[in-house]
Amino acid sequence: MVVSLAGFIGACVGFLLGLFDYKAVGGILEAKMRERIRPADQAGRESLESRIRWVRRALFVTTVIGFPIVGYLFGATLGTN
């Protein structure tokens, strides 16, 4: 399997964009979830923390892992011309 230089550069750019997006969107989502859901008891707080962890994991997969894949494919496509 040959990795193209353009694809590698696209993956690096995608990773950086994904990391930036993960930090920015993750912070906004967590703040909004904490603002809207105000649990009254300990079980509610644990449930909220569990939801936040799942949202962060899903966001991580889609941004930090997904963006480099798309960046590689985009870079490899542009690099063939």
Tens digit of each residue's pLDDT (9 = 90 or more) over 40-61: 888 888 998 999 999 999 999 9
Residue 80 has pLDDT above 80, yes or no: no
The domain of 46 spans: 5-79
User: Whole-model pTM?
Assistant: 0.80
Q: At what angle do helices 66-79 and 5-36 cross, to 10 degrees?
A: 150
Q: What are the b/e assignments for 41-68, b being 16+ CB within 10 Å?
A: eeeeeeebeeebeeeeeebeeebbeebb
Question: How many angstroms separate the CA atoms of 48 and 32, rounded?
Answer: 12
Number of folded domains that form the chain: 1
Q: Please list the alpha-helical segments (H only) found in 1-65.
A: 5-36, 42-60
